[in-house]
Structure 1
Amino acid sequence: MIKPYDPSEEGAQMSFDGRMSYGDYLQIDTILNTQKPLSTAHDEMLFIIQHQTSELWMKLAVHELHAARAAMQENRLEPAFKMLARVARIFEQLNNAWDVLRTMTPSEYTQFRETLGQSSGFQSYQYRQIEYILGNRNQSMLKPHAHREDIHAMLKKELDVPSLYDVALQLVHANGVDIPKAILDRDVSKTHVADEGVEAAWATIYKDPDKYWVLYQLAEKLVDFEDYFRRWRFNHVTTVERIIGFKRGTGGTGGVSYLRRMLDVELFPELWHVRTQL
């Protein structure tokens, strides 16, 4: 008879009385006890975990974006590139999560939708923080967070510093490709609007990548990330339409109509527009 495999015979730790375990380090008990369905519907657990895990991935995205922006401001571009690549892959994970949620049918969702009250992903402050970091700085979107002074203050503080794209344009200028002064001196609390001078700067870089290799890499890291971000938005729209059709969202938005409008938002507009002239 074959003897059962015993990892302890090869040195694996099997006793954790008074010692840190995997569950201790990751606070697994705390995490696994935060799912509190408000109905008896089977699929509410899926709905909760989908959104909780998405918030965890967004927390990591915020962590990486803050670090990438700081690295860019310090002209440490190689670490920044790695962080931006990681954020793109984070959004790939967020994209894959929609495939799981789409296994829920309209009939299953209606069994617990009323228990959500007015709560909605529209109110995710981490998602709003990500958009503000990237440069989509719609100040009207502060209103859903007015009831939380700490969150409102955090988001307001984000509007006072240059966005990731503002920092990228400053880098372009510092590395010998002119960016219009009006753009460099603009009010960073507002959303950047596509500018012909900025598009011309990116065109200069794309037409001579060997000369501007670092800036060329920066451009492609930004495009790569926004590509994944756009896919996430598209998957959001199609998932919502598949589950609730054109009903109004629980948070009061138009639902699919609101989400479709978000598909037109460009985070780094000139990097997409320049492709037409190359």
Structure 2
Amino acid sequence: MSDAPTEEAATPNLSFEGSTPYEDYVQASVLTHLQHPLSDEPGEMAFLVTTQVMELWFTLLVHEWTTAAAALREDDLPTAMAALRRSLPELESLNASWKPIAHLTPAQFNAYRSALGEGSGFQSAMYRRLEFLLGDKSASMLVPHRGTPGAHAELEKALTEPSLYDEVLRLLSRRGYAVPDEVLDRDPALRYEPHPEVESAWQHVYADADQDSDLIRLGEALTDVAELVWRWRNDHLVATRRAMGAKAGTGGSAGVAWLEKRATKNVFPELWTARSHV
């Protein structure tokens, strides 16, 4: 008797009493009905979908980096590394999201720009949580969310918690590297500022004879994250410059001028400067 599946057995189940299990799990009908263009311009739909996709990537990256920070707090480096490594292709996919917007001509972008009104990307609560995890803290960034108590509470919590990099430096200290108390005990609600002794600590990590040590692998994973964040900021700058030149941004932002300033800043700064001394 043959064990080969019959054609009937290989046919997928197409009959369900209610919605499909796929819909129940993914909730695709919710996602695909969240787009409500405010103009008749075809390009606005591309802008809406692209922006919403970015929000989903922000959500996933916040999940990954929160997982990594919690694992580092418990000295669970394998779990932290797994989360950081997962975040790399996720960051690459986030960065690729700029492509549909980046190739709009100024006229195509301006055709629906007024639909944004006072809306601007810097008002994204999930992106702000992502930036807070990277150590770029600012209490003023909670102000736009005072009218949405849930988002405001989540952001306030993220503001006052140690960032991912704070947890990394605490791990280095527990491993015997000379991270100063003023860094370890700093107010986590403040933006992280580079410190020469932290640079020295990374210099000693990278000078290890074992170039495959777990701390060097951690440093390289963080550097990969930092590089992709830098590319995200630059891709944002280029896409905006192509679409609107030097015009003022929506929501009262300075547009390209503000993005240019952001693009010059690196996250995890001592991981970059320490390389000059190894």
Aligned partners of 1:209 and 1:216 also within 8 Å = no
Tell me which residue corresponds to 2:74: 74
1:96 is aligned with what amino acid?
A: A
1:24 is aligned with what amino acid?
A: D
Tell me which residue corresponds to 2:119: 119
Tell me which residue corresponds to 1:172: 172
State the alpha-carbon separation in 1 of the partners of residues 142 and 130 from structure 2: 13
Aligned partners of 1:248 and 1:254 also within 8 Å = yes
Aligned partners of 1:205 and 1:212 also within 8 Å = no
The answer for unaligned runs of 5 or more in structure 2 is 1-5
| Aligned pairs (5 A) from 1:28-107 | 28-107=28-107
State the alpha-carbon separation in 2 of the partners of residues 97 and 209 from structure 1: 40
Aligned partners of 1:8 and 1:14 also within 8 Å = no
State the alpha-carbon separation in 1 of the partners of residues 7 and 94 from structure 2: 35
- Return the offset for 1:266: 2.5
Tell me which residue corresponds to 2:220: 220
The answer for unaligned runs of 5 or more in structure 1 is 1-5
Aligned partners of 1:59 and 1:126 also within 8 Å = yes
Tell me which residue corresponds to 1:3: none
| Aligned pairs (5 A) from 1:178-197 | 178-197=178-197
Tell me which residue corresponds to 2:139: 139
Aligned partners of 1:125 and 1:151 also within 8 Å = yes
- Return the offset for 1:28: 1.2
- TM-score after normalising by structure 2: 0.93
Q: How many residues align?
A: 273
- Return the offset for 1:18: 3.8
Tell me which residue corresponds to 2:206: 206
- TM-score after normalising by structure 1: 0.93
- Return the offset for 1:204: 0.5
Tell me which residue corresponds to 1:235: 235
State the alpha-carbon separation in 1 of the partners of residues 113 and 190 from structure 2: 35
| Aligned pairs (5 A) from 1:234-253 | 234-253=234-253
Bigger shift: residues 107-116 or 164-173:
107-116
> Alignment identity in percent?
38
- Return the offset for 1:91: 1.2
Bigger shift: residues 249-258 or 140-149:
140-149
Aligned partners of 2:138 and 2:159 also within 8 Å = no
Cα–Cα, structure 1 residues 8 and 72, in superposed 2: closer, same or farther, change >3 Å? farther
2:27 is aligned with what amino acid?
A: Q
What is the CA deviation profile of residues 142-196 of structure 1, one whole-angstrom value per residue up to 9, with x for unaligned ones?
A: 2222222222221111122111111100000111212111111111111121111
Cα–Cα, structure 1 residues 209 and 166, in superposed 2: closer, same or farther, change >3 Å? farther
State the alpha-carbon separation in 2 of the partners of residues 27 and 159 from structure 1: 31
